Every structure is written in C-alpha cells, then in structure tokens.
Amino acid sequence: MAITAALVKELREMTGSGMMDCKKALMASEGNIEKAIEWLREKGLATAQKKASRIAAEGVSMAAVSEDGKKAVVVEVNSETDFVAKNEKFQNYVRQVAEHALNTVAGGLEEFMKQPSKIDPEKSVEEVLAAQIAVIGENLKIRRFQQVEEKNGVVVAYTHMGGKIVSIVDLETDVDNEAVREIGKNVAMQVAALRPQYTSADEVPQEFKDKEIEILTKQIAEDPKMAGKPEKVINGAVQGRLNKELKEICLLDQVYVKAEDGKQTVAQYVAQAGKEAGANVKVKGFIRFETGEGLEKKNEDFAAEVAAQMGL
C-alpha cells in the first residue's frame, strides 16, 4: 500500500505524533493504520508529541561522577510538576541519563538525543524519553548536560535540595585523599549557595568590566556627595565599587561561607585547608545548575482549571 501524505496526516491527527514518526510507523506496518498506531505506542511516541507543548519547568538536576573521581557530569531533566520530579521512577530515569551523559562523546544535546540509549540500546535517547513521557504521563525534557574532566586532580559534586541545585568543582591537586575531597565539597557548597559567575577575576571579560565602569561612573556622577570631587577621586571610587562587585561574582574572591571570622576568602580557605591536607590544591573551575532557571513557570490555578473543564 502506498504511503500517501493524506495517510500520514490521518495518523498524525489520531496520535499526535510527529510527521516523520508517522511515516516510519506506516512504512513499518505497510500502511495499516491500526498496526501503525500499535508501532507508535510501542515506541512511546503516540502520546509524547501531544504533551510536548506543555510547560516543563520543574524536574531535577543530577550529577554522576566516575569511580576514580576524574570525570563528572551534571544533567537537567525537566517535568511539568514537582510531584513527578520527586517520583522514584523519574529519579531513576534521570540517574540513568546522567550515567549515559558521563561518558558520552556527543558534541551537544542534539547529537546526544540521537545516540543509542544505555537504557535500551535498540532505541535512541529521544525514543526512550518519549516512552517515559507515555508511562509517567507528563511532558519531560532533557534540557542540558555538561561534563568536566580533571586528569591532574579530582572533581567533586554537591547536590542541594534533592536536585534543585547541583554544583561540580574541578580541583587540580597532587594528592587525592578524603581531606582534599572535603575541600572540594565545601567549595561546591559555596558555589551552590552564592552563585558565582566566574572562578577568578582573570576570567571576567574586559567588556563586562568596561560596561560596569560606565554604569558606576554615571551613578557616582549623580551622587551629591561626589559633586566637585577631583577626577582622580572619582576614578578611585569607581574602581573601588568595581572591585567590590567582582569579589561578589568571582568564586575565589568571595568570602568563604564557613569562615569563622567572616573575612577569609575562598582562595585563602583552599590554600590553608590544602596545606593541612598535605596537598597543593587549585580550584580550576566549576559548574552550577539550578533546575528550571530561565524557564517560564506554569501558572497553577487548579480552581480555575476545574471550573473551565466543567464549563463554569
């Protein structure tokens, strides 16, 4: 039987699946609509497409670390509701995605989604995701993943609030022991809590600094207390405020959250703790994922939703 555009359209309207998936299903079933629907259901595609337009801004971020501590990855998988995000089946699925992403050589998310899944090698990551959508009943989305590898040290992960925030710290060190990994965990907690943007001031782009200087100069110029002050004084005030801002966004310059004196920086803590651990420790970088950051949140109004369904 010829696979016509009309037949593909009919199957798409019946199942909500994508055009290419419908075409594949019809080819596999030799044009038999019922068998094509069954094929799509087996692949988990018949219901996934219908849910794809729903907002998925909840979910969980999860880290996976290699046994030797040299490599780690963090992934974010979104769901529609926090209820599903806490579901054991969903959590296990995300864990399997993270374990796959830990060793993937995919250059990006699009390539990763096309790879054979570690969960079911006969299906792609994308197809297994579609099957999970069918089983769980919500739109799910693998949003992003990021790997880090440190051949001359270790990487340490920290998970906050069950996966709402996950951070990974890359430590270059000549010694790998429990004390060094504790340093990594403490710094990872710092990353989770204080949301740094850069590891050190050296990483901050000059254009960012120039823009901040421009803004700060205008602010100071409008400050009555600075009226009539020499240019040298104004420039000094601008630089002082810029340095203060940089200390807030650069990890190593931030005040260490566990500092007893409230003054010790992260860099000073790492140097001191590394010495006590008998190691030379350097923080090379970090990753921080906050689940749902930047995504549109669903406006939950259950009363209005029920009323609409009842035609009230």
Q: Is residue 86 included in any domain, yes or no? A: no
Cβ atoms 170, 153 nearer than 8 A: yes
Number of domains in the chain: 2
Classify burial at 28, counting beta carbons within 10 Å of its beta carbon; exposed 0-12, middle 13-18, buried 19 or more. middle
Cβ atoms 154, 181 nearer than 8 A: yes
Q: Is residue 223 included in any domain, yes or no? A: yes
Cβ atoms 89, 136 nearer than 8 A: yes
Cα distances (angstroms) measured from residue 172 to each of 102, 183, 185, 282, 294: 20, 12, 14, 5, 31
* Residue 226: predicted pLDDT: 85
Note down pLDDT in tens along the chain; length 312 residues.
Answer: 678 888 888 887 776 667 788 888 899 998 888 888 778 767 665 555 556 657 678 999 999 999 999 999 999 999 999 999 999 999 999 999 999 999 999 999 999 999 999 999 999 999 999 888 887 878 899 999 999 999 999 999 999 999 999 999 999 999 999 999 999 999 999 999 999 999 999 999 999 999 999 999 888 888 888 888 888 988 999 999 999 999 999 999 999 999 989 899 999 999 999 999 999 999 999 999 999 998 877 555 445 544 554 444
Q: Is residue 18 included in any domain, yes or no? A: yes
Number of neighbours of residue 57 by Cβ within 10 angstroms:
19
* Residue 185: predicted pLDDT: 97
* Residue 117: predicted pLDDT: 96
Q: Which two tokens stand for residue 113?
A: 């989604």
Q: Which residues pair with 64 in a beta bridge?
A: 73
| Final residue of a structural domain among 196, 224, 244 | 244
* Residue 224: predicted pLDDT: 87
Q: Is residue 175 included in any domain, yes or no? A: no
* Residue 51: predicted pLDDT: 63
Sheet of strand 153-160, all strands in order from the earlier edge strand to the far edge: 153-160, 165-173, 281-290
- Domain with residue 23: its CATH number is 1.10.8.10
Q: Is residue 240 included in any domain, yes or no? A: yes
Q: Is residue 279 included in any domain, yes or no? A: no
**Domain membership of residue 231 as a residue range:** 205-244
Q: Is residue 129 included in any domain, yes or no? A: no
Q: Is residue 250 included in any domain, yes or no? A: no
Classify burial at 95, counting beta carbons within 10 Å of its beta carbon; exposed 0-12, middle 13-18, buried 19 or more. middle
Global pTM?
0.78
